[in-house]
């Protein structure tokens, strides 16, 4: 098969479309003929040598894909060869074929394009595990979503609205904010010109904050929390080391969580399998009926993976960028 491999660490130019060994499914795994792969910021970090693959995972980039099952490993009984699926992975999606644990598959609903489906597993797992399973977002609560125009943000807006929550978002342009409003956001904050703490506080504070900035927003995020609020940090685009005002957090009876999906265990409590199972039960019917849709900014051929990375790094994308195989 062919796959995107790295000839070193650095800029997008280190990615090369080249021959690679065919993967073989083990017990509880399936082999997928890849139709498309989602591009995520974790891929950019891995390309730069800053986010290595977990032990035992493929070193090929890519944390999600869509495609058709080509082969079943031993012990797989709930799927069939030929099934259209999308998969949450620990690596390997930038390729013509990839092996995935059967417990990390989701069926692609009839009518949903395989290319678009590739942009769902990672955002669905991240958003659902954090907003619902970790923070317990409920109807009527206010959630603040930083980076509302990102792949995570565009999905989180829709999920939060489906739960009956009120949605505030930050974004860096009025155009992105207008598109976030179309998805269901009601409080629109341009982080270049507006104070998100003041805006959210005027609305009673945020019961849940989904944050990808990390250190740069830590103090202000705590200030923006409502009483008994949950700050969930899922990224470090604004730095890894910050100062937490514990007194301010105590006054809010607040909680700070820091989570990721890639390094979770495959099975057991809090695992990828548990998250995917919950998504299939509760979120996937909304995907199937079109209430929650993948937001795709661009689909590029996988040979143009370098351009896809440049596009994501530029901050111009609204929603996901995917690679078609």
For the domain that residue 220 is a member of, what is the CATH number? Answer: 3.40.50.720
pLDDT given for residue 309 in this prediction: 98
CB 139 within 8 A of CB 165: yes
> Within a domain: residue 232?
yes
Q: Which residues pair with 144 in a beta bridge?
A: 168, 209
Q: Are residues 89 and 29 in the same domain?
A: yes
Q: Are residues 171 and 185 in the same domain?
A: yes
Q: Are residues 110 and 157 in the same domain?
A: no
CA dist 169 and 156 (Å) reads 10
Query: What is the Cα 104 distance to its own chain's centre?
Result: 14
CA dist 117 and 166 (Å) reads 26
> Within a domain: residue 278?
no
pLDDT given for residue 272 in this prediction: 98
pLDDT given for residue 311 in this prediction: 98
pLDDT given for residue 82 in this prediction: 98
Burial of 190 (0-12, 13-18, 19+ CB in 10 A): middle
In Å, how far are 2, 56, 75 from 182, measured between CA atoms? 39, 42, 44
Low-confidence ranges of the chain (pLDDT < 70): none
**SS3 category, 324:** strand
Q: Are residues 91 and 147 in the same domain?
A: no
> Within a domain: residue 161?
yes
pTM value is 0.96
- Tally of helices (H runs) and strands (E runs) in the chain: 11, 15
> Number of structural domains, the chain?
2
Q: Are residues 195 and 314 in the same domain?
A: no
> Within a domain: residue 269?
no
Q: Are residues 79 and 139 in the same domain?
A: no
Q: Are residues 116 and 127 in the same domain?
A: no
Q: Kindly give the pairing relationship between strand 15-19 and strand 2-6.
A: antiparallel
> Within a domain: residue 289?
no
Q: Are residues 10 and 115 in the same domain?
A: yes
> Within a domain: residue 84?
yes
Of the candidates 231, 133, 234, 142, the residue with the CA atom closest to the CA atom of residue 185: 142
Q: Which residues pair with 222 in a beta bridge?
A: none
Dihedral of the alpha carbons of 96, 98, 103, 106, in degrees to the nearest 10: -10
Q: Are residues 37 and 87 in the same domain?
A: yes
Q: Are residues 114 and 142 in the same domain?
A: no
pLDDT per residue as tens digits for the range 105-145: 999 999 999 999 999 999 999 999 999 999 999 999 999 99
Q: Are residues 53 and 133 in the same domain?
A: no
In eight-state DSSP terms, residue 319 is: B
Burial of 199 (0-12, 13-18, 19+ CB in 10 A): middle
> Within a domain: residue 230?
yes
């Amino acid at each position: 098969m062919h796959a995107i491999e790295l000839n070193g660490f650095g800029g997008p130019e280190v990615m090369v479309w080249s021959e690679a060994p065919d993967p073989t499914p083990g017990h509880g795994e399936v082999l997928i003929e890849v139709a498309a792969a989602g591009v995520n910021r974790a891929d950019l970090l891995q390309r730069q040598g800053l986010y290595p693959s977990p032990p035992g995972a493929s070193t090929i980039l890519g944390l999600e894909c869509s495609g058709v099952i080509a082969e079943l490993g031993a012990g797989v009984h709930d799927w069939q060869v030929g099934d259209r699926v999308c998969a949450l992975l620990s690596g390997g999606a930038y390729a013509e074929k990839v092996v995935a644990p059967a417990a990390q598959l989701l069926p692609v609903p009839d009518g949903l394009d395989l290319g678009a489906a590739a942009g769902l597993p990672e955002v669905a797992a991240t958003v659902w595990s954090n907003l619902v399973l970790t923070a317990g977002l409920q109807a009527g609560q206010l959630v603040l979503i930083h980076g509302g125009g990102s792949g995570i943000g565009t999905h989180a807006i829709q999920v939060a609205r489906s739960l009956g929550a009120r949605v505030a978002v930050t974004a860096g342009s009025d155009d992105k904010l207008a598109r976030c409003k179309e998805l269901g956001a009601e409080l629109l904050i341009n982080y270049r010109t507006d104070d998100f703490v003041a805006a959210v506080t005027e609305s009673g504070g945020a019961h849940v904050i989904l944050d990808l900035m990390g250190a740069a927003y830590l103090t202000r995020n705590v200030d923006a929390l409502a009483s008994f609020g949950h700050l969930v940090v899922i990224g470090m685009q604004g730095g890894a080391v910050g100062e937490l005002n514990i007194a301010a957090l105590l006054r809010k009876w607040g909680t700070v969580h820091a989570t990721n999906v890639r390094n979770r265990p495959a099975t057991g409590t809090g695992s990828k399998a548990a998250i995917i199972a919950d998504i299939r039960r509760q979120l996937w019917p909304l995907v199937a009926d079109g209430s929650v849709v993948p937001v795709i900014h661009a689909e590029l051929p996988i040979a143009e993976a370098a351009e896809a990375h440049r596009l994501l790094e530029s901050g111009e994308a609204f929603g996901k960028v995917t690679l078609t195989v």
